[in-house]
Structure 1
Amino acid sequence: MEINTLHLKALRYSLLSLVLGVALASCSQKTAPTVSGDATATAGTVTEKEVTDSELPAVPVFEVPVEYYKLDNGLKVVLSPDETAPVATVAVYYNIGFRVEPKDRTGFAHLFEHMMFQGSDNLGKMEFIQLVQKNGGVLNGSTRFDFTNYFETVPAHKLETVLWAEADRMRGLNITQENLTNQQGVVKNEVKVNVLNQPYGGFPWLDMPQYANKNWYNAHNFYGDLEDLDAANLEDVKSFFDTYYAPNNAVVVVVGDFEIEEAKEWIQQYFGDIKSSEVPPIPDLKEPRQEKEQRFTKDDKLANRPALAFAYHMPEKNTPEYYAMGLLDQILLQGNDSRLYQALVQERGYAGSVDGGINAFLGNMFNYNGPMLWMGSLIHDKSVSADSIVSVLDQEIQQLQENGISQELLDRAIVKMRSSLYDQMSGGFGKADLLASFALFDDNPERINELEEEFRKITPEIMQRTLQEYLRPTNRTVLVVNPQAQI
């Protein structure tokens, strides 16, 4: 199976969530059903409850069904039934991403993702893929900062088949020199085609972490240096699989149309006797406080227009400032009504778009577990200087700092966040992604039902504090692409 680049996978996931969101439209924010009678939620039902601890008007909020437990071997299991459509999504997340791959094996986590499609004890090469596709399903996998994931969406009556298949490759991967050599070539070709020989290849999703961060784990080339990819050997692969692809380092999420007790029986039957492993502790990922703005220029022989990206170090996850940054992202960068889109695109015409966000291009603000950047980028006209763009960025941030964040502006940001959040939850994969991330990183998938409340706790004072500390110029890295292509 040819796996797309990490960047394109992120786009594919967004598209998949949108497609599934249409299929499951009756679960969306606008059509959430009201629970009647004794207000007891049944499978596939969204419960409404009143929000009374905010200055915003009381509004209905989602209550996603969550059943969470662990097998004796340490495997985390999250079940979230939804009878809206006769489909089921299985997502298996392993708590290993490219952030913590071996220092002399850059790109190894991504390489190993490819190996997981090369066959297992009972399914030969390509048979896993064929099994899903011939049963009317779709599948994919990706490698991110802090996890590697695999998912399948299938007709509901094929749920047991997919659970068996995922357990089969967790139990025993077909690790051979032939498969390793083949996938080394595939990944190296990805790097060449999609990064090295592509205009703006790796900009800014692969480039910016390497410029903005200081800790190697956050700052290395996670797509992989070609020499490191060549250096990977069969023993590396076997050790990596035995260590990180174990049940006590994973979560299985099932979302969709299924019976809870039946799913539990299948998960116990197929995953219950897989052996756990001794997983090493996560290394120190901390980043030092940035005290001075950093600026870098990257020559691009294939680009014909300049580009600029900016990044600010994020607050620690799950703090008030973290949620405040999520709302500042909505105000400054998300949507055509955002301050930066209006200032850079609509008013000045510097570019056709400005993109970015928290964990931009590789996920969202919830599915990571370490230091992170709030990042934006644009490809702009040659007549526009980098300093002009940075000046506009400073002006928009300074206006918020000087004028303050009104309750009205804060309320609008919460509405936008709520819309974005529940758009993600409306799709099977989007919901599974949140549940898996909260189970892996927080041991608490119920957080999916607490997010809106956390955003509603944020006050204008917290927003102002966050602006002052995290959107200061000395916390910023600017990367400029210098075009070298001859037109």
Structure 2
Amino acid sequence: MTRTAALLGASLLALASPAFAQSPSASAAPISVPPLEYTHRELANGLDVYAMPDAAAGTVTVTLWYDVGGKDDPQGRSGFAHLFEHILSRKTVNLPYGQISTLVENAGGSRNASTGQDFTNYYETVPPQYLETMLWTHAERMARPVVDDAVFQAERSIVQEELRQRVLAPPYGRFSRFVIGDNSFDESIYRRSVIGSLEELNAAVIDDARAFHEAYYRPATATMIVSGNFDPAQLDRWVDQYFAGIRNPNRPVPVFERPVETPRTAPRMVEAYAPNVPLPAVGVLYPGVAANHPDSAALDVLQAIMSRGESSRLYQALVYGKQLASNAGFNANSMEEDGSIGVTATVARGKAMSDLEAALDIELARVRDEPVTAAELAEAKTELVASDLRQRETASGRAFMLGQAIVSENNPRAPDERLAAIQAVTAADVQRVARTWLNDQTRVAVRYQDESARPAGVPDDSWRNPAPVPTYLTVPAAILPANELLPEGRRMAPPAPGAVRAMATPRVVERTLPNGLRVIVAKSTDLPIMNAQLVMAGGAAADAGQSGLASMTANLATQGAGGRSAPEIARTLEALGADIGGGAGADATTLFLSAPVASADQAGAVLADVVQRPAFDAAELERSRTRTVTGLTVALRDPGSLASQVLNRLAFGGAAYGAPAAGTPASVGTLTRDQVVGFHDRWWRPDNAALIITGGMEPEQAFAFAERTLGGWERPSGAVPTLPNRAGDRPAPRIVVVDLPGAGQAAVAAAVRGPRRSDPAFYPLAVVNSVIGGGQNGHLFQEVRAKRGLSYGANSSLGARVDGGLLSAATQTKNESAAEVVGLVLAEFDRLKTEAVTDQAVTDREAFITGGFSRAIETTGGLGGVLSDAVTYGLPLTEVETYVGKINATTPEAVMAAAQAVGSDQAWVVVVGQSAMFIDALRAAHPDVVVIPSASLDLNSPTLGL
């Protein structure tokens, strides 16, 4: 049957009511949230189809959600739903291995998939003319997948590398995925990690995969959502053509009888230890609620009060006030059948774990024992509604919101109903759920420390939950014959693209205020949200030997200005549903402001103070210094992050671009207030800046906002400062290994110099970069991941800078494979110098680049970013209109010519990992490799401390 959804429009518009209580520092403006609009029908085979047409969208998103996830992993096969997500993305009867990604990228689209405890989804966003092609690929995967040994072995290896990259390599990966996950639930079906374990992945066989598909993947377990620019009647015809004939297997879906959980009646403590943990972390875990539980909305509000934004209780008490933690979060995680509550924090440098735990307990007790204030309640509601509004900006965002509601709550109306429920939450409700669910008799306290702190005799698995793990289903063996890839001449061809549907190009207009400030406006949405970016030339390249100065200046500016303290700024903006932030790239400092249009003037008044009247209070400098040093300390223990920083220093040496933009613990430790004030006075001036406004404001409305906000910003009398060549001379190519004890994976990075962003040579080199390592069809992804399973991903990027950036490649692999991967990366740097690229290959890569650009400018923030880049790199604002044509003008001859600038003999190479596991093999190929112990590395030095 077909029905039109009840839209709750009147109730949602009522969110602009006095339900938002008044903050002492700001009056919360009305926020109007358009409801989700969709139609629904169900095919005879049980497939649910939701259509969300949007004639203004430049793309269409197809998502297919299957009612199978980590909770359905068979006994002894944790991580299997996630493994099968990979398998089902690769090969069908009519599509060779990897061809789905090829179709999507050649169409200028993007695709991916994900697995949760309750679901597995597959999704593509493409230009509208490729909708039929995408529907056909989903039908192929549902009805005609090929699960053969080659696919199975390749994807299992890739998933294991993904586990190493996401869990074993980052300093706190084991903490969040294993320690927290295993202890958040006891006898629950959600006990196991979705990503599984290396041991159980190794134990899987191909027959398991075939049985899993037969058991769970069918039309009756699937929900399709199509959102964007399409004709609904044509969609119905295509869905009938490709999906109506797919039959469900004759056997029912396996049903797992849920275990009856034993309620926790006493608290317990978990002590966990792992390698490469720079600072201890603590956690407190409680049972939570399912997504459709009556307490879910009140827990959302409680979560916002506790840890959303800088005015939240945990931030103010633990991070800002007592400075015991570098970060703190409160997460109420709700799924279809159960939930959990996790409160976590990382100990700040020089602070005691016990002091942090005591302070955290005080905050948990306070929210149980005392009602939250009216201002806190109103602020939390405004933040939640504003966040929801931002997610609804794009067709794909709305599709995912709808899909998550269906799989988590079996209710497509849930997103709209949730907003109404949040508005009804009272202070008494918040205290009630805090008392109910933050029950100390059910809590699990967690301590996470470096391996070096482990007492003698404590086993490796000391963190494991003592409660018995449920015995899961064993899926019945497959009985259907296995599919095979058809011979080339017998395969069905994908549907040809349809007619191109019109896409509006944003209209960009500009004025200059009397004080010299450029104001650039482009309306990008009809939603009542706005985004302002203030771009000021200079950036980290202007640090003048004091790394991190520009970044610290931007961060400190929001921490007190115009007579408001840092907490007052946070309370004011968060009560308005607004966000502010800033940072420094190599060539520019940027401040951003995002707010509902109705609150723009009030939020703009804060922006005006931050820009013109920052306090740069000495106490705030010390707070920011502590947080920054802690963050940098953690980043320097992550293999990928560290490799990127070392590579940048190798490529630019002692030039301005070579210094770490965020600084190092040592350089940030010596910054002074006078240096910060001096940087602000030199570089923060209206005639050195541009204000870019995108979103739902009409141009005249935006220009008036700019005049009211920054029209009074005074221009200094002196000339705007300039910078000499920031890239400097090219240092000699080198290969450097950073020995990082305990690294769960090795990071491999390599780079060569690229042209200025304003140089016409940038465009053909962008196509070269795409061939080398753009997306899943880039050579690097194919050689490192698809063919050999050595990494979860391998890609390259072409960085844009005023005086020349880098074409760089990056990947991560198990330590034992690092030398092999270095060889593969360098081979790709040489390949295009002699190997011709066909016309079709160039066209396909151009489509990949321009498709990504078109998706970017569909969003308010993305369009603002493109215009910000134009300002920073001295490009005309017409770049929004001409970029696609410049990329598409690249010929195969231009690709080969541009590729001559890329070569292994010109490359800097960095490997970060446990060097003993790969150094002999690497040195055999590269005798001049240099090894630096991570403890001796000095990023402040052009020589890295050698």
If the TM-score is normalised by the length of the shorter chain, which range does it land in?
Answer: 0.7 to 0.9
Rounded to whole Å, the distance in 1 between the matches of 2:343 and 2:375 is 25
Which stretch of the first structure deviates more once superposed, 256-265 or 423-432?
423-432
Distance 1:477 1:427, change over 3 A: farther
| Aligned twin of 2:359 | 392
After TM superposition, the score normalised by the length of structure 2 is 0.44
Does the CA contact (< 8 Å) of 2:297 and 2:418 recur in 1? no
| Aligned twin of 2:431 | 464
Are 2:207 and 1:207 aligned? no
SS in 2 for 1:423: helix
Rounded to whole Å, the distance in 2 between the matches of 1:54 and 1:60 is 13
| Aligned twin of 1:369 | 336
Are 2:451 and 1:479 aligned? no
Displacement of 1:109 in angstroms is 1.1
Distance 1:76 1:171, change over 3 A: same
Are 2:147 and 1:180 aligned? no
Does the CA contact (< 8 Å) of 1:99 and 1:218 recur in 2? yes
Displacement of 1:102 in angstroms is 0.8
Q: 1:156-176 deviations in whole A, cap 9, x for unaligned?
A: 221111111111111111110
Find 1:255's aligned residue among 223, 227, 230: 227
SS in 2 for 1:387: helix
| Aligned twin of 2:371 | 404
Q: What amino acid is the match of 1:455?
A: I
Which stretch of the first structure deviates more once superposed, 409-418 or 286-295?
286-295
Rounded to whole Å, the distance in 2 between the matches of 1:208 and 1:216 is 14
Find 1:329's aligned residue among 300, 303, 306: 303
SS in 2 for 1:374: strand
Displacement of 1:53 in angstroms is 8.7
| Aligned twin of 2:14 | 50
Are 2:324 and 1:357 aligned? no
| Aligned twin of 1:454 | 421
Q: What amino acid is the match of 2:451?
A: Q
SS in 2 for 1:353: strand
Q: What amino acid is the match of 2:324?
A: Y
Counterparts in 2 of 1:93-132, with a 5 A limit? 93-132=65-104
Q: What amino acid is the match of 1:478?
A: A
Are 2:263 and 1:289 aligned? yes
Distance 1:59 1:428, change over 3 A: closer
Which stretch of the first structure deviates more once superposed, 320-329 or 298-307?
298-307
| Aligned twin of 1:234 | 206
Find 1:302's aligned residue among 276, 280, 292: 276
Q: What amino acid is the match of 2:14?
A: E
| Aligned twin of 2:782 | none
> How many percent of aligned residue pairs carry the same amino acid?
27
Q: 1:72-109 deviations in whole A, cap 9, x for unaligned?
A: 11111111122332111111111111122112111111
Q: What amino acid is the match of 1:292?
A: A
| Aligned twin of 1:17 | none
Distance 1:222 1:270, change over 3 A: same
Q: What amino acid is the match of 1:280?
A: P
After TM superposition, the score normalised by the length of structure 1 is 0.83
Q: 1:334-371 deviations in whole A, cap 9, x for unaligned?
A: 11121101111111222332245233xxxxx5xx3122
Q: What amino acid is the match of 2:298?
A: A
Does the CA contact (< 8 Å) of 1:107 and 1:223 recur in 2? yes
Q: What amino acid is the match of 2:386?
A: S
| Aligned twin of 2:585 | none
Displacement of 1:453 in angstroms is 0.6
Q: 1:444-464 deviations in whole A, cap 9, x for unaligned?
A: 312222221111222222222
Does the CA contact (< 8 Å) of 1:46 and 1:64 recur in 2? no
Return 5+ residue gaps in structure 2 as ranges. 22-29, 453-740, 742-934, 936-946
Rounded to whole Å, the distance in 1 between the matches of 2:187 and 2:404 is 23
Rounded to whole Å, the distance in 2 between the matches of 1:285 and 1:143 is 23
| Aligned twin of 1:338 | 312
Does the CA contact (< 8 Å) of 2:273 and 2:451 recur in 1? yes
Displacement of 1:48 in angstroms is 6.7
Displacement of 1:285 in angstroms is 6.0
| Aligned twin of 1:431 | 398
Are 2:283 and 1:312 aligned? no
| Aligned twin of 2:112 | 140
Distance 1:230 1:443, change over 3 A: same
SS in 2 for 1:369: coil
Displacement of 1:216 in angstroms is 5.3
Does the CA contact (< 8 Å) of 1:314 and 1:372 recur in 2? yes
Does the CA contact (< 8 Å) of 1:204 and 1:377 recur in 2? no
Are 2:253 and 1:279 aligned? yes
Does the CA contact (< 8 Å) of 1:212 and 1:219 recur in 2? yes
Distance 1:193 1:86, change over 3 A: closer
Find 2:407's aligned residue among 433, 440, 457: 440
Does the CA contact (< 8 Å) of 2:124 and 2:134 recur in 1? yes
Rounded to whole Å, the distance in 1 between the matches of 2:38 and 2:403 is 11
SS in 2 for 1:69: strand
> How many equivalent residue pairs?
438
Does the CA contact (< 8 Å) of 1:78 and 1:436 recur in 2? no
Counterparts in 2 of 1:413-428, with a 5 A limit? 413-428=380-395
Rounded to whole Å, the distance in 2 between the matches of 1:209 and 1:217 is 12
Displacement of 1:437 in angstroms is 2.6
Rounded to whole Å, the distance in 1 between the matches of 2:417 and 2:278 is 46
From the CA coordinates, give the structure whose radius of gyration is larger.
2
Displacement of 1:412 in angstroms is 1.6
Distance 1:53 1:198, change over 3 A: closer
Which stretch of the first structure deviates more once superposed, 143-152 or 200-209?
200-209
Q: Quote the RMSD (CA, aligned, Å).
A: 2.6
Distance 1:256 1:148, change over 3 A: same
The runs of at least 4 aligned residues of structure 1 exceeding 4 Å deviation read: 45-48, 51-54
Rounded to whole Å, the distance in 2 between the matches of 1:119 and 1:271 is 18
Rounded to whole Å, the distance in 2 between the matches of 1:171 and 1:284 is 29
Find 2:38's aligned residue among 42, 66, 73: 66
Rounded to whole Å, the distance in 2 between the matches of 1:377 and 1:140 is 30
Q: 1:166-224 deviations in whole A, cap 9, x for unaligned?
A: 11111111110121112222222333344234432232134212023111522224322
Does the CA contact (< 8 Å) of 1:92 and 1:252 recur in 2? yes
Displacement of 1:374 in angstroms is 2.1
Rounded to whole Å, the distance in 2 between the matches of 1:169 and 1:241 is 10
Rounded to whole Å, the distance in 1 between the matches of 2:264 and 2:307 is 22
Q: 1:206-250 deviations in whole A, cap 9, x for unaligned?
A: 421202311152222432232321222222111111121111111
Displacement of 1:47 in angstroms is 10
Displacement of 1:144 in angstroms is 0.9
Are 2:48 and 1:76 aligned? yes
Distance 1:283 1:65, change over 3 A: same
SS in 2 for 1:192: helix
Return 5+ residue gaps in structure 1 as ranges. 1-40, 360-364
Rounded to whole Å, the distance in 1 between the matches of 2:194 and 2:161 is 15
Does the CA contact (< 8 Å) of 1:305 and 1:483 recur in 2? yes
Distance 1:318 1:441, change over 3 A: closer
Rounded to whole Å, the distance in 1 between the matches of 2:342 and 2:397 is 22
